[in-house]
Structure 1
Amino acid sequence: MGYLAASRRRVALTNLRLCFPELSEQEREALARRVMISTGEAILEMAGAFHNQRIDLDKRLTVGGLEHLETARREGHGVMLLGMHFNSIDVGSRLLGKFFRFSVVYRPNDNPLLDHLITKGRGTWVNHSVDRNDIRQTVRLLRQGEVVWYAPDQDYGTAHAVFVPFFGVPAATITATSRIARMGKAKVIPCAHYRLPGGRYEIEFGAPLEDFPCGDDEADTARINRTIESYVRKHPEQYLWVHKRFKHQPPGQDHPYR
Protein backbone atom coordinates (compact mmCIF):
# COMPACT_ATOMS: atom_id res chain seq x y z
CA MET A 1 0.00 0.00 0.00
CA GLY A 2 2.85 2.37 0.79
CA TYR A 3 4.25 2.03 -2.74
CA LEU A 4 0.98 1.72 -4.66
CA ALA A 5 -0.68 4.65 -2.89
CA ALA A 6 2.31 6.92 -2.39
CA SER A 7 0.24 10.12 -2.46
CA ARG A 8 -1.99 8.81 0.34
CA ARG A 9 1.06 7.80 2.32
CA ARG A 10 2.29 11.39 2.05
CA VAL A 11 -1.09 12.62 3.31
CA ALA A 12 -0.87 10.21 6.24
CA LEU A 13 2.65 11.40 7.07
CA THR A 14 1.52 15.04 6.96
CA ASN A 15 -1.40 14.30 9.30
CA LEU A 16 0.84 12.41 11.70
CA ARG A 17 3.39 15.24 11.69
CA LEU A 18 0.66 17.73 12.60
CA CYS A 19 -1.12 15.57 15.18
CA PHE A 20 1.82 13.85 16.86
CA PRO A 21 4.58 16.49 17.06
CA GLU A 22 6.01 14.68 20.08
CA LEU A 23 7.07 11.74 17.90
CA SER A 24 10.45 11.61 16.21
CA GLU A 25 10.68 11.40 12.44
CA GLN A 26 11.54 7.69 12.70
CA GLU A 27 8.56 7.06 14.97
CA ARG A 28 6.21 8.84 12.57
CA GLU A 29 7.59 6.83 9.64
CA ALA A 30 6.96 3.62 11.57
CA LEU A 31 3.44 4.71 12.48
CA ALA A 32 2.73 5.70 8.86
CA ARG A 33 3.81 2.21 7.78
CA ARG A 34 1.34 0.67 10.25
CA VAL A 35 -1.35 3.04 8.97
CA MET A 36 -0.83 1.83 5.39
CA ILE A 37 -0.86 -1.82 6.51
CA SER A 38 -4.12 -1.20 8.37
CA THR A 39 -5.59 0.52 5.30
CA GLY A 40 -4.65 -2.48 3.15
CA GLU A 41 -6.24 -4.82 5.66
CA ALA A 42 -9.44 -2.78 5.48
CA ILE A 43 -9.65 -3.19 1.71
CA LEU A 44 -9.25 -6.96 2.05
CA GLU A 45 -11.79 -7.04 4.89
CA MET A 46 -14.46 -5.23 2.93
CA ALA A 47 -15.43 -8.08 0.60
CA GLY A 48 -15.41 -10.60 3.43
CA ALA A 49 -17.44 -8.34 5.70
CA PHE A 50 -20.12 -7.94 3.03
CA HIS A 51 -20.31 -11.42 1.53
CA ASN A 52 -18.53 -14.10 3.57
CA GLN A 53 -21.15 -15.64 5.84
CA ARG A 54 -19.07 -18.71 6.68
CA ILE A 55 -17.00 -16.90 9.29
CA ASP A 56 -18.72 -16.48 12.65
CA LEU A 57 -17.42 -13.13 13.79
CA ASP A 58 -19.30 -13.41 17.10
CA LYS A 59 -16.54 -15.70 18.35
CA ARG A 60 -13.95 -13.05 17.52
CA LEU A 61 -15.71 -10.08 19.08
CA THR A 62 -15.34 -8.24 22.37
CA VAL A 63 -17.95 -5.59 23.25
CA GLY A 64 -17.78 -2.95 25.93
CA GLY A 65 -20.39 -0.43 27.06
CA LEU A 66 -23.37 -1.96 25.28
CA GLU A 67 -25.44 -1.20 28.39
CA HIS A 68 -25.29 2.53 27.56
CA LEU A 69 -27.08 1.97 24.29
CA GLU A 70 -29.56 -0.51 25.76
CA THR A 71 -30.48 1.91 28.55
CA ALA A 72 -31.08 4.78 26.10
CA ARG A 73 -33.31 2.62 23.92
CA ARG A 74 -35.19 1.23 26.90
CA GLU A 75 -35.95 4.80 27.96
CA GLY A 76 -37.39 5.49 24.51
CA HIS A 77 -34.65 7.67 23.10
CA GLY A 78 -33.37 7.63 19.57
CA VAL A 79 -29.61 7.09 19.57
CA MET A 80 -27.04 8.89 17.47
CA LEU A 81 -23.93 6.73 17.43
CA LEU A 82 -20.99 9.12 17.26
CA GLY A 83 -19.07 7.26 14.58
CA MET A 84 -15.40 7.53 13.71
CA HIS A 85 -13.57 6.67 10.51
CA PHE A 86 -11.46 3.77 11.64
CA ASN A 87 -10.27 1.38 8.95
CA SER A 88 -12.51 -1.37 10.32
CA ILE A 89 -15.58 0.64 9.35
CA ASP A 90 -17.15 -1.99 7.09
CA VAL A 91 -16.53 -5.02 9.25
CA GLY A 92 -17.72 -2.79 12.10
CA SER A 93 -21.10 -2.31 10.43
CA ARG A 94 -21.51 -6.07 10.15
CA LEU A 95 -20.56 -6.54 13.80
CA LEU A 96 -22.95 -3.82 14.98
CA GLY A 97 -25.72 -5.50 13.00
CA LYS A 98 -25.39 -8.53 15.26
CA PHE A 99 -26.89 -6.55 18.13
CA PHE A 100 -29.49 -4.23 16.58
CA ARG A 101 -30.71 -2.84 13.30
CA PHE A 102 -29.45 0.65 12.61
CA SER A 103 -29.10 3.25 9.88
CA VAL A 104 -25.99 5.01 8.61
CA VAL A 105 -25.42 8.54 7.38
CA TYR A 106 -22.78 8.63 4.66
CA ARG A 107 -21.38 10.64 1.78
CA PRO A 108 -22.16 8.89 -1.52
CA ASN A 109 -19.02 7.74 -3.30
CA ASP A 110 -18.01 9.69 -6.40
CA ASN A 111 -17.80 6.40 -8.32
CA PRO A 112 -21.42 5.26 -8.90
CA LEU A 113 -20.46 1.58 -9.27
CA LEU A 114 -18.42 1.56 -6.08
CA ASP A 115 -21.17 3.45 -4.27
CA HIS A 116 -23.70 0.81 -5.39
CA LEU A 117 -21.48 -2.06 -4.24
CA ILE A 118 -20.83 -0.49 -0.83
CA THR A 119 -24.47 0.43 -0.24
CA LYS A 120 -25.63 -3.03 -1.29
CA GLY A 121 -22.99 -4.70 0.89
CA ARG A 122 -23.92 -2.68 3.95
CA GLY A 123 -27.61 -3.19 3.22
CA THR A 124 -27.44 -6.67 4.75
CA TRP A 125 -26.75 -5.11 8.14
CA VAL A 126 -28.37 -1.66 8.10
CA ASN A 127 -31.91 -0.37 7.73
CA HIS A 128 -31.18 2.77 5.73
CA SER A 129 -28.18 4.43 4.11
CA VAL A 130 -28.98 8.14 4.33
CA ASP A 131 -27.24 10.81 2.27
CA ARG A 132 -25.48 13.15 4.70
CA ASN A 133 -27.30 16.09 3.11
CA ASP A 134 -30.70 14.60 3.99
CA ILE A 135 -30.84 15.92 7.55
CA ARG A 136 -34.63 15.71 7.59
CA GLN A 137 -34.56 11.92 7.10
CA THR A 138 -31.90 11.52 9.80
CA VAL A 139 -33.98 13.52 12.29
CA ARG A 140 -37.08 11.53 11.37
CA LEU A 141 -35.34 8.22 12.09
CA LEU A 142 -34.07 9.45 15.46
CA ARG A 143 -37.49 10.68 16.49
CA GLN A 144 -38.84 7.24 15.64
CA GLY A 145 -36.46 5.82 18.24
CA GLU A 146 -33.97 4.34 15.79
CA VAL A 147 -30.20 4.03 16.09
CA VAL A 148 -28.32 6.14 13.54
CA TRP A 149 -24.53 5.97 12.96
CA TYR A 150 -23.15 9.43 12.21
CA ALA A 151 -19.48 10.33 11.74
CA PRO A 152 -18.59 14.06 11.57
CA ASP A 153 -14.81 13.54 11.54
CA GLN A 154 -14.03 14.36 7.92
CA ASP A 155 -13.37 17.66 6.16
CA TYR A 156 -16.56 18.43 4.23
CA GLY A 157 -15.62 22.04 3.52
CA THR A 158 -16.32 25.26 5.38
CA ALA A 159 -20.08 25.50 4.79
CA HIS A 160 -21.95 24.86 8.07
CA ALA A 161 -18.60 24.22 9.76
CA VAL A 162 -16.36 25.83 12.35
CA PHE A 163 -12.63 25.57 12.90
CA VAL A 164 -12.05 23.73 16.17
CA PRO A 165 -9.00 21.76 17.34
CA PHE A 166 -8.45 18.14 16.43
CA PHE A 167 -5.20 16.94 17.97
CA GLY A 168 -4.43 20.61 18.52
CA VAL A 169 -4.77 21.51 14.83
CA PRO A 170 -7.61 23.72 13.46
CA ALA A 171 -9.99 21.40 11.62
CA ALA A 172 -13.05 22.40 9.63
CA THR A 173 -15.78 20.42 11.41
CA ILE A 174 -19.47 20.43 10.59
CA THR A 175 -21.78 21.66 13.34
CA ALA A 176 -24.65 19.41 12.32
CA THR A 177 -24.06 16.86 15.09
CA SER A 178 -25.52 19.05 17.82
CA ARG A 179 -28.35 20.34 15.61
CA ILE A 180 -29.41 16.84 14.57
CA ALA A 181 -29.21 15.56 18.13
CA ARG A 182 -31.34 18.47 19.33
CA MET A 183 -33.97 18.15 16.60
CA GLY A 184 -34.03 14.35 16.87
CA LYS A 185 -34.21 14.43 20.69
CA ALA A 186 -31.49 11.79 20.63
CA LYS A 187 -28.83 10.52 22.99
CA VAL A 188 -25.31 10.80 21.53
CA ILE A 189 -23.21 7.72 22.29
CA PRO A 190 -19.60 7.35 21.07
CA CYS A 191 -18.95 4.17 19.10
CA ALA A 192 -15.44 2.97 18.20
CA HIS A 193 -14.39 -0.29 16.58
CA TYR A 194 -10.90 -1.71 16.60
CA ARG A 195 -9.06 -4.59 14.96
CA LEU A 196 -7.22 -6.75 17.50
CA PRO A 197 -4.39 -9.29 17.03
CA GLY A 198 -5.35 -12.81 16.02
CA GLY A 199 -8.26 -11.84 13.77
CA ARG A 200 -10.30 -10.44 16.65
CA TYR A 201 -12.32 -7.22 16.90
CA GLU A 202 -13.55 -4.90 19.61
CA ILE A 203 -16.50 -2.52 19.74
CA GLU A 204 -16.53 0.12 22.43
CA PHE A 205 -19.62 2.18 23.29
CA GLY A 206 -19.01 5.21 25.49
CA ALA A 207 -21.40 6.77 27.97
CA PRO A 208 -23.93 9.23 26.46
CA LEU A 209 -22.57 12.75 26.23
CA GLU A 210 -24.02 14.68 29.16
CA ASP A 211 -25.48 18.18 28.65
CA PHE A 212 -25.21 17.78 24.89
CA PRO A 213 -26.02 19.84 22.99
CA CYS A 214 -25.28 22.79 25.23
CA GLY A 215 -26.62 25.46 22.88
CA ASP A 216 -23.23 26.68 21.68
CA ASP A 217 -22.45 25.03 18.32
CA GLU A 218 -18.73 25.80 18.48
CA ALA A 219 -18.37 24.41 22.01
CA ASP A 220 -20.37 21.32 21.06
CA THR A 221 -18.27 20.73 17.95
CA ALA A 222 -15.02 21.13 19.87
CA ARG A 223 -16.30 18.57 22.38
CA ILE A 224 -17.10 16.14 19.57
CA ASN A 225 -13.53 16.42 18.26
CA ARG A 226 -12.06 15.90 21.75
CA THR A 227 -14.21 12.81 22.19
CA ILE A 228 -13.16 11.32 18.86
CA GLU A 229 -9.52 12.13 19.55
CA SER A 230 -9.64 10.20 22.83
CA TYR A 231 -10.69 7.04 20.99
CA VAL A 232 -8.22 7.52 18.12
CA ARG A 233 -5.32 7.69 20.57
CA LYS A 234 -6.04 4.13 21.71
CA HIS A 235 -5.22 2.68 18.27
CA PRO A 236 -3.89 5.55 16.11
CA GLU A 237 -2.61 3.23 13.36
CA GLN A 238 -6.20 2.19 12.58
CA TYR A 239 -7.58 5.68 11.92
CA LEU A 240 -8.19 7.03 8.42
CA TRP A 241 -5.11 9.24 8.29
CA VAL A 242 -5.03 8.93 4.49
CA HIS A 243 -7.92 11.45 4.45
CA LYS A 244 -7.01 15.14 4.13
CA ARG A 245 -8.56 16.07 7.47
CA PHE A 246 -7.00 19.56 7.45
CA LYS A 247 -7.61 20.38 3.80
CA HIS A 248 -9.40 23.63 4.68
CA GLN A 249 -7.68 26.05 7.03
CA PRO A 250 -8.59 29.43 8.53
CA PRO A 251 -7.66 32.47 6.40
CA GLY A 252 -3.95 33.15 6.52
CA GLN A 253 -2.97 29.61 7.49
CA ASP A 254 -0.69 27.56 5.25
CA HIS A 255 -2.15 24.65 3.30
CA PRO A 256 -0.58 21.60 4.98
CA TYR A 257 -0.71 19.26 1.97
CA ARG A 258 1.17 21.43 -0.50
Structure 2
Amino acid sequence: MHKIPKFHYYFLHPKFWLIWIGIGILYVIVSLPYSVIYYLGIRLGRMTKYFLLHRMHIIKRNLDLCFPNLSTKEKKDLFNKNCESIGMGVLETGMAWFWSEHRIKRWFKIKGLKNITQARKNKTGILLIGIHFLTLELGARILGTLNPGIGVYRPNDNPLLDWIQTKGRLRSNKKMLICTNVTGMIKALKNGEIVWYAPDHDYGRKNSVFVPLFAVPKAASTIGTYILTKIAKPALIPFIARRLPNSFGYELIIFPNKKNEVPLNTSTDMIKYINKIIEQIILLAPDQYMWLHRRFKTRPPGEPYLY
Protein backbone atom coordinates (compact mmCIF):
# COMPACT_ATOMS: atom_id res chain seq x y z
CA MET A 1 0.00 0.00 0.00
CA HIS A 2 1.42 3.37 -1.01
CA LYS A 3 1.61 5.85 1.86
CA ILE A 4 1.06 9.57 1.52
CA PRO A 5 4.54 11.16 1.47
CA LYS A 6 5.73 13.09 4.50
CA PHE A 7 8.54 15.54 5.06
CA HIS A 8 11.94 14.03 5.89
CA TYR A 9 15.05 15.89 7.02
CA TYR A 10 16.74 13.97 4.22
CA PHE A 11 15.13 16.50 1.86
CA LEU A 12 17.62 19.08 3.15
CA HIS A 13 20.50 17.12 1.64
CA PRO A 14 22.53 19.12 -0.94
CA LYS A 15 21.30 16.82 -3.72
CA PHE A 16 17.88 18.50 -3.35
CA TRP A 17 19.10 22.10 -3.17
CA LEU A 18 18.44 22.86 -6.84
CA ILE A 19 14.84 21.71 -6.43
CA TRP A 20 14.42 23.92 -3.36
CA ILE A 21 15.83 26.88 -5.29
CA GLY A 22 13.44 26.18 -8.16
CA ILE A 23 10.46 25.94 -5.81
CA GLY A 24 11.55 29.17 -4.13
CA ILE A 25 11.72 30.97 -7.48
CA LEU A 26 8.30 29.57 -8.41
CA TYR A 27 6.86 30.81 -5.09
CA VAL A 28 8.24 34.32 -5.66
CA ILE A 29 6.92 34.48 -9.26
CA VAL A 30 3.38 33.40 -8.36
CA SER A 31 3.35 35.98 -5.57
CA LEU A 32 3.50 38.70 -8.24
CA PRO A 33 0.42 40.32 -9.86
CA TYR A 34 -1.37 38.00 -12.28
CA SER A 35 -0.60 40.21 -15.28
CA VAL A 36 3.12 39.70 -14.59
CA ILE A 37 2.65 35.95 -14.08
CA TYR A 38 0.83 35.76 -17.42
CA TYR A 39 3.58 37.73 -19.20
CA LEU A 40 6.34 35.54 -17.77
CA GLY A 41 4.45 32.29 -18.34
CA ILE A 42 3.80 32.97 -22.02
CA ARG A 43 7.45 33.84 -22.64
CA LEU A 44 8.68 30.86 -20.67
CA GLY A 45 6.49 28.71 -22.88
CA ARG A 46 7.90 30.19 -26.06
CA MET A 47 11.37 29.25 -24.86
CA THR A 48 10.39 25.57 -24.47
CA LYS A 49 10.48 25.18 -28.27
CA TYR A 50 14.26 25.51 -28.14
CA PHE A 51 14.96 23.28 -25.15
CA LEU A 52 12.35 20.49 -25.03
CA LEU A 53 13.01 19.27 -28.55
CA HIS A 54 11.84 15.69 -27.97
CA ARG A 55 8.58 16.92 -26.45
CA MET A 56 8.12 19.34 -29.34
CA HIS A 57 8.28 16.39 -31.73
CA ILE A 58 5.60 14.58 -29.69
CA ILE A 59 3.30 17.63 -29.71
CA LYS A 60 3.59 17.98 -33.49
CA ARG A 61 3.02 14.27 -34.00
CA ASN A 62 -0.08 14.26 -31.77
CA LEU A 63 -1.54 17.20 -33.66
CA ASP A 64 -0.86 15.48 -37.00
CA LEU A 65 -2.53 12.28 -35.77
CA CYS A 66 -5.57 13.93 -34.19
CA PHE A 67 -6.23 16.75 -36.65
CA PRO A 68 -5.13 15.62 -40.13
CA ASN A 69 -7.58 18.01 -41.77
CA LEU A 70 -6.10 21.15 -40.26
CA SER A 71 -3.98 23.24 -42.60
CA THR A 72 -0.24 23.56 -42.03
CA LYS A 73 -0.77 27.11 -40.73
CA GLU A 74 -3.56 26.05 -38.38
CA LYS A 75 -1.41 23.30 -36.90
CA LYS A 76 1.55 25.65 -36.54
CA ASP A 77 -0.61 28.21 -34.74
CA LEU A 78 -2.01 25.53 -32.43
CA PHE A 79 1.51 24.24 -31.75
CA ASN A 80 2.78 27.72 -30.85
CA LYS A 81 -0.18 28.40 -28.57
CA ASN A 82 0.32 25.05 -26.89
CA CYS A 83 3.96 25.88 -26.18
CA GLU A 84 2.87 29.11 -24.52
CA SER A 85 0.42 27.10 -22.41
CA ILE A 86 3.23 24.81 -21.25
CA GLY A 87 4.99 27.81 -19.72
CA MET A 88 1.77 28.99 -18.14
CA GLY A 89 1.12 25.48 -16.85
CA VAL A 90 4.35 25.56 -14.84
CA LEU A 91 3.35 28.81 -13.15
CA GLU A 92 -0.27 27.70 -12.75
CA THR A 93 0.98 24.69 -10.81
CA GLY A 94 2.68 27.11 -8.43
CA MET A 95 -0.51 29.16 -8.22
CA ALA A 96 -2.47 26.01 -7.29
CA TRP A 97 0.04 25.08 -4.60
CA PHE A 98 0.75 28.49 -3.08
CA TRP A 99 -2.14 30.88 -3.73
CA SER A 100 -4.64 31.59 -0.96
CA GLU A 101 -8.23 30.44 -1.36
CA HIS A 102 -9.32 34.07 -1.70
CA ARG A 103 -6.94 34.73 -4.58
CA ILE A 104 -7.89 31.49 -6.35
CA LYS A 105 -11.60 32.36 -6.25
CA ARG A 106 -10.93 35.92 -7.39
CA TRP A 107 -9.53 34.72 -10.72
CA PHE A 108 -12.12 32.04 -11.49
CA LYS A 109 -15.54 32.20 -13.13
CA ILE A 110 -17.60 29.10 -12.38
CA LYS A 111 -20.34 27.58 -14.53
CA GLY A 112 -22.47 24.56 -13.69
CA LEU A 113 -21.77 24.21 -9.96
CA LYS A 114 -25.43 23.23 -9.59
CA ASN A 115 -24.64 19.97 -11.42
CA ILE A 116 -22.53 18.81 -8.47
CA THR A 117 -25.05 20.16 -5.95
CA GLN A 118 -27.89 18.23 -7.59
CA ALA A 119 -25.85 15.02 -7.80
CA ARG A 120 -24.97 15.22 -4.11
CA LYS A 121 -28.66 15.33 -3.21
CA ASN A 122 -28.95 11.75 -4.46
CA LYS A 123 -26.41 10.70 -1.80
CA THR A 124 -24.30 8.78 -4.29
CA GLY A 125 -20.63 9.23 -5.02
CA ILE A 126 -19.48 11.52 -7.81
CA LEU A 127 -16.82 10.53 -10.33
CA LEU A 128 -15.40 13.76 -11.72
CA ILE A 129 -14.13 13.12 -15.24
CA GLY A 130 -11.02 15.25 -15.46
CA ILE A 131 -8.86 15.85 -18.53
CA HIS A 132 -5.10 16.43 -18.60
CA PHE A 133 -5.07 20.11 -19.41
CA LEU A 134 -2.06 22.23 -18.53
CA THR A 135 -4.38 23.97 -16.05
CA LEU A 136 -4.84 20.61 -14.31
CA GLU A 137 -3.51 21.55 -10.86
CA LEU A 138 -5.33 24.87 -10.80
CA GLY A 139 -8.64 23.32 -11.84
CA ALA A 140 -8.34 20.63 -9.18
CA ARG A 141 -7.60 23.31 -6.56
CA ILE A 142 -10.71 25.39 -7.30
CA LEU A 143 -12.91 22.29 -7.49
CA GLY A 144 -11.56 21.09 -4.16
CA THR A 145 -12.10 24.51 -2.64
CA LEU A 146 -15.76 24.37 -3.67
CA ASN A 147 -16.34 20.68 -2.92
CA PRO A 148 -13.47 18.86 -1.18
CA GLY A 149 -13.09 15.31 -2.42
CA ILE A 150 -10.57 12.56 -3.10
CA GLY A 151 -7.66 13.26 -5.44
CA VAL A 152 -6.22 10.48 -7.60
CA TYR A 153 -2.55 10.79 -8.52
CA ARG A 154 0.58 9.04 -9.75
CA PRO A 155 3.48 9.43 -7.29
CA ASN A 156 6.42 11.48 -8.55
CA ASP A 157 9.68 9.55 -8.91
CA ASN A 158 11.51 12.27 -6.99
CA PRO A 159 10.57 11.97 -3.27
CA LEU A 160 10.87 15.70 -2.57
CA LEU A 161 8.70 16.66 -5.53
CA ASP A 162 6.25 13.93 -4.53
CA TRP A 163 5.94 15.47 -1.05
CA ILE A 164 5.59 19.05 -2.38
CA GLN A 165 3.06 17.99 -5.01
CA THR A 166 0.95 16.04 -2.52
CA LYS A 167 1.13 18.79 0.12
CA GLY A 168 -0.10 21.30 -2.47
CA ARG A 169 -2.97 19.08 -3.58
CA LEU A 170 -4.09 18.35 -0.05
CA ARG A 171 -4.82 22.05 0.44
CA SER A 172 -8.19 21.42 -1.18
CA ASN A 173 -8.69 17.65 -1.00
CA LYS A 174 -9.68 15.41 1.88
CA LYS A 175 -7.10 12.81 0.93
CA MET A 176 -5.12 11.43 -2.01
CA LEU A 177 -5.26 7.97 -3.57
CA ILE A 178 -2.64 6.46 -5.82
CA CYS A 179 -4.03 5.85 -9.31
CA THR A 180 -3.67 2.06 -9.00
CA ASN A 181 -5.80 1.91 -5.84
CA VAL A 182 -9.08 1.00 -7.54
CA THR A 183 -10.43 -0.56 -4.35
CA GLY A 184 -9.91 2.71 -2.49
CA MET A 185 -11.69 4.67 -5.23
CA ILE A 186 -14.66 2.29 -5.18
CA LYS A 187 -14.91 2.49 -1.40
CA ALA A 188 -14.78 6.30 -1.49
CA LEU A 189 -17.51 6.47 -4.17
CA LYS A 190 -19.74 4.05 -2.28
CA ASN A 191 -19.32 6.29 0.77
CA GLY A 192 -20.67 9.22 -1.22
CA GLU A 193 -17.35 10.96 -1.83
CA ILE A 194 -16.25 12.98 -4.84
CA VAL A 195 -13.39 11.29 -6.68
CA TRP A 196 -11.34 13.08 -9.36
CA TYR A 197 -10.33 10.72 -12.17
CA ALA A 198 -8.61 11.38 -15.52
CA PRO A 199 -9.14 8.62 -18.14
CA ASP A 200 -7.64 10.44 -21.13
CA HIS A 201 -4.01 9.24 -21.09
CA ASP A 202 -2.43 6.05 -22.41
CA TYR A 203 -1.95 3.86 -19.33
CA GLY A 204 -0.65 0.82 -21.20
CA ARG A 205 -2.18 -2.35 -22.60
CA LYS A 206 -3.40 -3.82 -19.30
CA ASN A 207 -7.05 -2.96 -18.53
CA SER A 208 -7.41 -0.96 -21.75
CA VAL A 209 -9.45 -1.22 -24.93
CA PHE A 210 -8.56 0.15 -28.36
CA VAL A 211 -11.25 2.63 -29.39
CA PRO A 212 -11.29 5.82 -31.50
CA LEU A 213 -9.99 9.14 -30.26
CA PHE A 214 -10.13 12.00 -32.74
CA ALA A 215 -8.71 10.67 -36.04
CA VAL A 216 -6.88 7.75 -34.41
CA PRO A 217 -9.12 4.68 -34.82
CA LYS A 218 -7.37 2.55 -32.19
CA ALA A 219 -6.27 4.49 -29.12
CA ALA A 220 -5.45 2.51 -25.97
CA SER A 221 -8.01 3.78 -23.45
CA THR A 222 -8.37 2.70 -19.84
CA ILE A 223 -11.48 0.81 -18.76
CA GLY A 224 -11.12 2.25 -15.26
CA THR A 225 -14.14 4.51 -15.78
CA TYR A 226 -16.22 1.46 -16.71
CA ILE A 227 -15.09 -0.53 -13.66
CA LEU A 228 -15.72 2.33 -11.21
CA THR A 229 -19.13 3.11 -12.73
CA LYS A 230 -20.29 -0.50 -12.93
CA ILE A 231 -19.40 -1.30 -9.32
CA ALA A 232 -19.88 1.98 -7.41
CA LYS A 233 -22.66 3.48 -9.58
CA PRO A 234 -21.59 7.12 -9.07
CA ALA A 235 -22.73 10.23 -10.88
CA LEU A 236 -20.44 10.96 -13.86
CA ILE A 237 -19.62 14.65 -14.12
CA PRO A 238 -17.01 15.96 -16.60
CA PHE A 239 -15.34 19.31 -16.05
CA ILE A 240 -12.77 21.63 -17.56
CA ALA A 241 -10.68 24.49 -16.18
CA ARG A 242 -9.54 26.69 -19.05
CA ARG A 243 -7.50 29.85 -19.20
CA LEU A 244 -9.26 32.86 -20.65
CA PRO A 245 -7.40 34.97 -23.24
CA ASN A 246 -5.49 38.17 -22.54
CA SER A 247 -4.86 37.49 -18.84
CA PHE A 248 -8.54 37.68 -17.90
CA GLY A 249 -8.35 34.69 -15.56
CA TYR A 250 -9.96 31.26 -15.72
CA GLU A 251 -13.26 29.53 -16.28
CA LEU A 252 -14.34 26.33 -14.56
CA ILE A 253 -17.11 24.54 -16.45
CA ILE A 254 -18.89 21.66 -14.68
CA PHE A 255 -21.03 19.65 -17.08
CA PRO A 256 -24.32 17.85 -16.33
CA ASN A 257 -24.33 14.32 -14.94
CA LYS A 258 -23.78 11.79 -17.76
CA LYS A 259 -24.70 8.71 -15.72
CA ASN A 260 -27.98 8.02 -17.51
CA GLU A 261 -26.48 8.58 -20.97
CA VAL A 262 -23.45 6.31 -20.72
CA PRO A 263 -23.87 2.84 -22.29
CA LEU A 264 -22.82 0.15 -19.84
CA ASN A 265 -23.41 -2.95 -21.99
CA THR A 266 -19.68 -3.50 -22.51
CA SER A 267 -16.50 -1.70 -21.53
CA THR A 268 -15.82 -0.95 -25.20
CA ASP A 269 -19.19 0.76 -25.66
CA MET A 270 -18.71 2.89 -22.60
CA ILE A 271 -15.13 3.92 -23.31
CA LYS A 272 -16.07 4.90 -26.87
CA TYR A 273 -18.63 7.23 -25.30
CA ILE A 274 -16.15 8.55 -22.73
CA ASN A 275 -13.64 9.30 -25.49
CA LYS A 276 -16.29 11.31 -27.32
CA ILE A 277 -16.76 13.38 -24.16
CA ILE A 278 -12.99 13.80 -23.90
CA GLU A 279 -12.84 15.02 -27.52
CA GLN A 280 -15.60 17.57 -26.96
CA ILE A 281 -13.90 18.95 -23.86
CA ILE A 282 -10.45 19.14 -25.46
CA LEU A 283 -11.92 21.09 -28.38
CA LEU A 284 -13.06 23.80 -25.93
CA ALA A 285 -9.38 24.71 -25.40
CA PRO A 286 -7.15 22.54 -27.64
CA ASP A 287 -4.17 24.85 -27.14
CA GLN A 288 -4.23 24.12 -23.38
CA TYR A 289 -4.21 20.32 -23.56
CA MET A 290 -1.14 18.22 -22.63
CA TRP A 291 -0.17 17.23 -26.17
CA LEU A 292 3.42 16.69 -25.01
CA HIS A 293 2.59 13.18 -23.76
CA ARG A 294 2.71 10.14 -26.06
CA ARG A 295 -1.02 9.55 -26.01
CA PHE A 296 -0.86 6.82 -28.67
CA LYS A 297 2.30 4.97 -27.61
CA THR A 298 0.51 1.66 -26.95
CA ARG A 299 -0.50 -0.04 -30.19
CA PRO A 300 -2.54 -3.14 -30.97
CA PRO A 301 -0.42 -6.23 -31.72
CA GLY A 302 1.24 -6.00 -35.12
CA GLU A 303 0.63 -2.27 -35.63
CA PRO A 304 3.58 0.15 -35.99
CA TYR A 305 4.76 2.54 -33.28
CA LEU A 306 3.45 6.04 -34.01
CA TYR A 307 6.28 8.16 -32.58
TM-score normalised according to structure 1 size: 0.95
Does 1:129 find its partner at 2:179? no
* 8 A contact 2:68–2:215 mirrored in 1: no
* 8 A contact 2:92–2:138 mirrored in 1: yes
The alignment covers a number of residue pairs equal to: 257
Q: CA deviation at 1:22?
A: 1.1
CA distance in 2, matches of 1:186, 1:156: 22
Which of residues 169, 185, 203 in structure 2 aligns to 1:138?
185
CA distance in 1, matches of 2:264, 2:95: 41
Cα RMSD (Å) of the superposition? 1.4
Query: Which residue of structure 1 aligns with residue 256 of structure 2?
Result: 207
Query: Which residue of structure 2 aligns with residue 51 of structure 1?
Result: 98
Q: CA deviation at 1:57?
A: 2.5
* 8 A contact 2:101–2:145 mirrored in 1: no
CA distance in 1, matches of 2:254, 2:152: 18
Query: Which residue of structure 2 aligns with residue 192 of structure 1?
Result: 240
Q: Percent identity?
A: 35
Q: CA deviation at 1:29?
A: 1.8
Does 1:243 find its partner at 2:290? no
What secondary structure does 2:145 align onto? coil
Which of residues 128, 140, 146 in structure 2 aligns to 1:99?
146
* 8 A contact 1:9–1:242 mirrored in 2: yes
Q: CA deviation at 1:115?
A: 1.7
* 8 A contact 1:187–1:208 mirrored in 2: yes
Does 1:65 find its partner at 2:112? yes
What secondary structure does 2:174 align onto? strand
What secondary structure does 1:110 align onto? coil
Q: CA deviation at 1:54?
A: 8.2
Q: CA deviation at 1:240?
A: 0.5
* 8 A contact 1:178–1:212 mirrored in 2: no
Code of the aligned partner of 1:23: L
* 8 A contact 1:181–1:213 mirrored in 2: no
* 8 A contact 1:178–1:213 mirrored in 2: no
Does 1:177 find its partner at 2:225? yes
Query: Which residue of structure 2 aligns with residue 37 of structure 1?
Result: 84
> Between Structure 1 and Structure 2, which shows a larger proportion of helix residues?
2
Label 1:37 to 1:55 Cα distance change in 2 as closer, same or farther (>3 A). Answer: farther
Query: Which residue of structure 2 aligns with residue 75 of structure 1?
Result: 122
Bigger radius of gyration:
2
**Structure 2 unaligned blocks of 5 or more:** 1-47
Label 1:13 to 1:212 Cα distance change in 2 as closer, same or farther (>3 A). Answer: same
Query: Which residue of structure 2 aligns with residue 5 of structure 1?
Result: 52
Deviates more, 1:102-111 or 1:214-223: 102-111
1:206-225 correspondence runs (5 A): 206-209=255-258, 210-212=260-262, 214-225=264-275
* 8 A contact 2:263–2:273 mirrored in 1: no
Q: CA deviation at 1:44?
A: 1.3
Which of residues 236, 260, 280 in structure 2 aligns to 1:230?
280
TM-score normalised according to structure 2 size: 0.81
* 8 A contact 1:88–1:194 mirrored in 2: yes
**Structure 1 unaligned blocks of 5 or more:** none
Code of the aligned partner of 2:270: D
Label 1:72 to 1:55 Cα distance change in 2 as closer, same or farther (>3 A). Answer: closer
Label 1:59 to 1:23 Cα distance change in 2 as closer, same or farther (>3 A). Answer: same
* 8 A contact 1:83–1:191 mirrored in 2: yes
Q: CA deviation at 1:112?
A: 2.4
Q: CA deviation at 1:212?
A: 3.2
